[in-house]
Amino acid sequence: RNAAEAVQTSVDSYSKVNNYVVVEDLIESYSNASVETLNVLSRQLQEGCLTVTIRAEVTPQKNIDQQFVSEELLADPTIPLTVKLWLSKAQYAVGEQVSIYLKANKPFFGRLVYTMNDGTQVQLLPNPYRSENHFQGQVLYTVPDAKDSFLLEVTPPIGVEQLTLYASTHPLGELQTSAVSGMYLINNSQTSSDVRNRTRGIKITGVNPPSAKAAVPQTPTEVAEFAEVSADVVITQ
């Protein structure tokens, strides 16, 4: 619960945004955040003091709609990781090329996953042509950009498919993928939930707990911030 309260305090202190409603939504989301213990990493009993290390996830009550993610929010690195994802067009015809735009309020590692109508998931980034997936904060990125040696072209079938950006302030966990035709196909056994959970996998290094007699203030635990946003890809004839 302390984790949720710490984030709420950070958001609450943010007062530079003109859109007051968005700020209120952020504060409300984190003040009512849920904290889920994902797994217990270790238990150590030393001199009558039990230290338990857990991996937990703090989830805001709701996500801020992408249309309200303003430039002011994207310019402040003191609030939780906030990312924006959008496309070059509202809809595409078969054969057209797609440009993806990304921007965040702080440096992040990103994974772009495309979900087709039949449920097939393709990792667009990183891919065999571009392994780099670290982005600076407050910078607008285009995928692919002029330096990339690949293009994103729309293919059948027509309909509405989905593009998802998984972002984290820490390196992302590994997925089970297969290289097919210049892209990474995510193994069918992994659902969207699996992709989300594996993406959030981070390495945690344990430290020896202080003794009960000689306890001193410890450095605050480093928190990995995550964000997940999606955009519909509308494909027409």
- pLDDT tens digit string along 37-55? 777 888 888 888 888 877 6
SS (H, E, C) the chain: CHHHHHHHHHHHCCCCCCCHHHHHHHHHHHHCCEEEEEEEEEEEEECCEEEEEEEEEEECCCCCCHHHCCHHHHCCCCCCCCEEEEECCCEEECCCECCEEEEECCCEEEEEEEECCCCCEEEEECECCECCCEECCCCCEEECCCCCCCCCECCCCCEEEEEEEEEECCCCCCCCEEEECCEEEECCCCCHHHHHHHHCCCCCCCCCCCCCCCCCCCCCCCCCCEEEEEEEEEEEC
Annotation: CATH topology of 81-204+224-237: Immunoglobulin-like (2.60.40)
The predicted structure's pLDDT at residue 14: 43
> Span 183-201, mean pLDDT?
71
Please report, rounded to a whole number, the percentage of residues in the chain having pLDDT higher than 90: 38
pLDDT at 95 over 90: yes
- Give domain limits for the chain: 1-62, 81-204+224-237
